[in-house]
């Protein structure tokens, strides 16, 4: 009996490892500042290991990056560099967790962390998961998140993150 229990536990761990989405592709990003109406277009390459290692290197503008290595978040955007420990900076902790949960397909946890409700629709070969805050958005949280997956292979193709402060980042993954 003990042997069977160990086999079942091992199978569950292997299934959950396969469920985590790994990503290695090019992306485009559009950033909209709702207050000013200003948009910025960027492009680059994203690599995600399915856990807590994320690297976004930008080719447009060249030299920009956004990296998550465990709890550390390293940023070089528009000439401004920062290295932040998500365990020490509450806002960064929530944003890091939301991003990693969305990329790995753990959108239920992203919704819970952001005090949000979810809605799932399927159409035209795609599944869209909308995560919308129920009320007050936690500090540093997201007002809404929209994730789009191809139904044929369950690969994430689009992610739209709307911050409570009115910044919308839309990522198209190829």
Q: Which of 21, 4, 2, 47 is nearest to 147 (CA)?
A: 21
> What pLDDT does 136 receive?
87
What is the rounded CA–CA span in Å between residue 104 and residue 69? 15
Domains of the chain, CATH where assigned: 21-173 (2.50.20.10)
Per the confidence metrics, is the pTM higher than 0.75? yes
For the stretch 110-145, pLDDT in tens is 999 999 999 999 999 999 999 999 988 888 889 999
How do residues 47-68 score in pLDDT, each as one tens digit?
999 899 999 999 999 999 999 9
User: What's CA 155's distance to the chain center, in Å?
Assistant: 13
């Amino acid at each position: 009996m003990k042997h069977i229990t160990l086999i079942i536990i091992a199978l569950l761990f292997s299934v959950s490892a396969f469920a985590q989405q790994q990503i290695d592709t090019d992306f485009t990003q559009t950033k909209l500042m709702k207050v000013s109406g200003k948009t910025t277009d960027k492009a680059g390459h994203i690599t995600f290991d399915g856990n807590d290692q994320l690297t976004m290197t930008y080719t447009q503008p060249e030299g920009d990056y956004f990296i998550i290595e465990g709890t550390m978040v390293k940023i070089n955007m528009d000439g401004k560099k920062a290295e932040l420990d998500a365990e020490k900076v509450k806002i960064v902790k929530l944003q890091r967790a939301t991003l990693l949960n969305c990329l790995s397909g753990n959108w239920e946890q992203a919704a819970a962390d952001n005090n949000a409700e979810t809605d799932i629709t399927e159409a035209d070969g795609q599944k869209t998961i909308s995560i919308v805050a129920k009320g007050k958005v936690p500090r540093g949280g997201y007002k809404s998140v929209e994730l789009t997956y191809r139904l044929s292979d369950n690969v994430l193709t689009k992610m739209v993150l709307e911050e409570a402060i009115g910044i919308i980042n839309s990522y198209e993954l190829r």
